[in-house]
Amino acid sequence: MPRRSKYKAIKVEYDGIVFDSKLEGARYKILKALEGAGEITDLEIQTPYECWVEGKRICKYIADFRYKLDGETVVEDTKGVITQVFSLKKKLVEALYPGTVILIVKNPRADVRPAKVA
């Protein structure tokens, strides 16, 4: 039987890749289909973002997905539960990587077209 996390997420495997939750695995399948249809490009999984401030390593944030949509980079994280640690890391990454906006996906079928960021 698959092991559950403290948030009751069950690890799943698709295409030989192990995902931390059913939600993340389902989102991957949808994004792969969109990539195959040419709607998105350059799909990446588990993309790391190092967070350094004044020469000190604060943390490493690992995004679930990163891809291109209409030439713009989109960063996604699938979340059933939004923790304080995640919220802090999200703010830190967005501050340290100008132009980066992390989209939180709670529904794997969510539209890949986020509202335009000014």
Domain that holds residue 101: 12-105
pLDDT of residue 84: 94
In a domain, 92, yes or no: yes
Check if the beta carbon of residue 48 is closer than 8 Å to that of residue 61: yes
In a domain, 21, yes or no: yes
In a domain, 81, yes or no: yes
In a domain, 74, yes or no: yes
The reported pTM is: 0.82
- Structure-block tokens of residue 116: 């335009």
Residues 24-60 have pLDDT tens digits of 999 999 999 999 999 999 999 999 999 999 999 999 9
- 103 versus 5: the higher-pLDDT residue is 103
pLDDT of residue 5: 58
Dihedral angle sign, alpha carbons of residues 64, 110, 5, 95: positive
In a domain, 110, yes or no: no
In a domain, 78, yes or no: yes
Domain total in the chain: 1
- Structure-block tokens of residue 78: 């699938």
